[in-house]
Amino acid sequence: KQEVTQIPAALSVPEGENLVLNCSFTDSAIYNLQWFRQDPGKGLTSLLLIQSSQREQTSGRLNASLDKSSGRSTLYIAASQPGDSATYLCAPRGQAGTALIFGKGTTLSVSS
Amino acid sequence: NAGVTQTPKFQVLKTGQSMTLQCAQDMNHEYMSWYRQDPGMGLRLIHYSVGAGITDQGEVPNGYNVSRSTTEDFPLRLLSAAPSQTSVYFCASSYSSGRGNTEAFFGQGTRLTVV
C-alpha cells in the first residue's frame, strides 16, 4: 500500500526566502506525481504534474523534481511571497490503478 | 469551461438521513473519484470510476454508494448519515492512464455536517 509522507508539516518563513518542500512515497512504481495547493476552506489547485519519465517540471517560481527510484519529490518555491501561504499536497498516482494517494501536506506561512 | 462542479457547497444532515452529493465535469474525463478530507487524516479515497458503468471501492467506502451512468456525472450517496461522516468531500476527474496526461482537477468541495 502506497504511503506518502510530507516534511515538514508546517513551515513559516519571511517573504523573499527560497524554500523546499519534501515528499516521500513508499512504492516507487508510480505513473506520475502531482503537486497541489489548497487555500483554507477551498478546493485543490493543481500546480505541477511530473510524469514518471521526467526529472523536473517548472512553472513560474515553482520547480518540482522527481527521483522515482528513491521515492522522493521536492517542490522548490523561489522568492516566496505572502500569497504563497497555503497547504501544499503531493500525490503520486500508482501504476496498477489510477487513484491519487495523498500526503497530509505542508502548511506554509509567508510573512511580509 | 466549468471544470468540476460540486453541489451543494454546504449541507447539514440529521443522523439517519440520506442524501446525494453531486459531481459533474465537462472535460470528457473517464476517471472520476471521491475523497473525504478530515483534520489530521489528509485526503482519503472513497470510491472511484474509470468510465461509465464502472465503479470500484477506495480506502474508506463503507456507508457510501456510487454509480456512473454518464461520463459527466458521478454522484455520491450517503445511505444513512452518521456523525462520523462529518467531513469535507471532494470530487476529482482526469483522463485515464491510457490517455497520457492524467492531470487531476478537483471541485471546490462539499462541507457536510451530520448532527
* pLDDT 10s digits, A43-93: 999 999 998 889 999 999 999 999 999 999 999 999 999 999 999 999 999
Mean of pLDDT values over B16-26: 97
The maximal CA–CA distance of chain B, rounded, in angstroms, is 43
Do A46 and B102 count as a contact with CB atoms less than 8 A apart? Answer: no
Flag whether residue B43 sits within 8 Å of chain A, measured between CB atoms: yes
Q: What is the structure's pLDDT at B1?
A: 61
CA angle A6, B55, B34 (to 5 degrees): 40
Higher-scoring residue by pLDDT: A94, B111: B111
CA A76 to CA A56: how far, in whole Å? 11
CA B41 to CA A4: how far, in whole Å? 12
Place of cell 510530507: A6
CA B99 to CA B88: how far, in whole Å? 30
Flag whether residue B107 sits within 8 Å of chain A, measured between CB atoms: yes
Do A102 and B94 count as a contact with CB atoms less than 8 A apart? Answer: no
A46: chain B residues, CB-CB within 8 Å:
103-106
Mean of pLDDT values over B81-109: 88
Do B104 and A102 count as a contact with CB atoms less than 8 A apart? Answer: no
Do A99 and B101 count as a contact with CB atoms less than 8 A apart? Answer: no
